[in-house]
Amino acid sequence: MGLTAKIRTRDGWAVSHAVVTVTDMTGTQVLRAEADAEGAVRDTTELAPGAYTVIVTAVGYAPAASSAIVTASGRAEAGTVTLARQGGTELPPPGPWTIDPAHSSVAAVAQHLGISSVHGRFTEFGGTIEIAPDDVAKSRVEAVIRASSVDTGNAMRDTHLRSADFLDVERHPEITYRSTGVTAVGSDRWTVHGELSLHGVVRPVDLDLAYLGTGADPWGGTRAAFRATAELHREDFAMHYNQVLQAGIAAIGTTLKVELDIQAVQGDGLPQA
């Protein structure tokens, strides 16, 4: 007896916080149930045979309504109800995700001599993402980068970048980022608000984030991909060193464009691969 249903996103993920309301043909509510952690509803309330309307709601998703027939046995099977995220883009399943450094990159681009760009990256970093189940704006990101892992492809330049003129890695071995909020700016784009600690200075920094999708990996896990960019000014983080050439052009630009390509694995740790 009662109602059974499965609540899923368009990508097939369970919606664990969905609420199912059943009304009869007069519009009177006769049943209300919540989905479990697997997105399943199994309610044993006895319903009289007849036609009913099943309405499924969840924060962040457009409501869905369907019809159900209760048989003489008092059973109603609503089957799988698919919810579409408001804005049209599905998010990764809620819960913890771990950034995979082996399949991610943290890079920065600076102008050199006013005519070209120097590309660098950090090779040692890690972090976590927590996708909130009820409101994406409550999701959190934390990341730590080892400052000494900077790599621009030139040993002399990298040594200078590790020195007190720039990163001062002996005094400030870690670069950290902690989010403070998330704001939707499009169907698949968000602004992540947070605080960056760099060179001993903490400043608010926003990341322009694009969600690229979720899928299975060859090691039995689930991965989500993101791309983010930000613009930093060295002087905001007390890195004032520069060399001015005879023409009055700064050897190194004061603006850094940060580019992040991130793969995160579902769960609290990385799989053995």
Spell out the domains of the chain, with CATH numbers in brackets: 2-83 (2.60.40.10), 95-266 (2.40.128.110)
Tell me what pLDDT residue 90 has. Answer: 61
The whole-number average pLDDT for the span 167-182 is: 95
| Mean of all residue pLDDT scores within the chain | 84
Instruction: Output the CA angle 145-198-118, nearest 5 degrees.
Output: 75
Max mean pLDDT range (8-17, 86-95, 209-218): 209-218
Q: How far is the C-alpha of 125 from the C-alpha of 102, rounded, in Å?
A: 10
For residues 105 and 160, which has the higher predicted lDDT (pLDDT)? 105
H helix and E strand count, the chain? 1, 18
State the DSSP code for 149: G
Beta bridge partners of 99: 264
Tell me what pLDDT residue 141 has. Answer: 96
In this prediction, residue 142 has a pLDDT band, given cuts at 50, 70 and 90, of very high
Max mean pLDDT range (58-72, 90-104, 133-147, 194-208): 194-208
In this prediction, residue 148 has a pLDDT band, given cuts at 50, 70 and 90, of very high
Tell me what pLDDT residue 187 has. Answer: 62
State yes or no: pLDDT of 14 exceeds 80: no
For residues 241 and 105, which has the higher predicted lDDT (pLDDT)? 105
Give the residue among 65, 68, 85, 67 at the shortest CA–CA distance from 15: 85
Q: What is the pLDDT of residues 15-65, one digit of tens each?
A: 777 899 999 888 899 888 888 878 888 888 888 888 889 999 987 678 888
In this prediction, residue 243 has a pLDDT band, given cuts at 50, 70 and 90, of low
Which helix (H) or strand (E) segment holds residue 159: the answer is helix 155-162
Q: How far is the C-alpha of 6 from the C-alpha of 17, rounded, in Å?
A: 12
Q: Among 78-87, 115-124, 244-253, where is mean pLDDT lowest?
A: 244-253
Look at strands 140-146 and 125-131 and give their pairing.
antiparallel
Q: What is the pLDDT of residues 177-222, one digit of tens each?
A: 999 999 888 666 889 999 999 999 999 999 999 888 787 777 788 8
In this prediction, residue 229 has a pLDDT band, given cuts at 50, 70 and 90, of very high
Which amino acid, one-letter code, is at 36? D
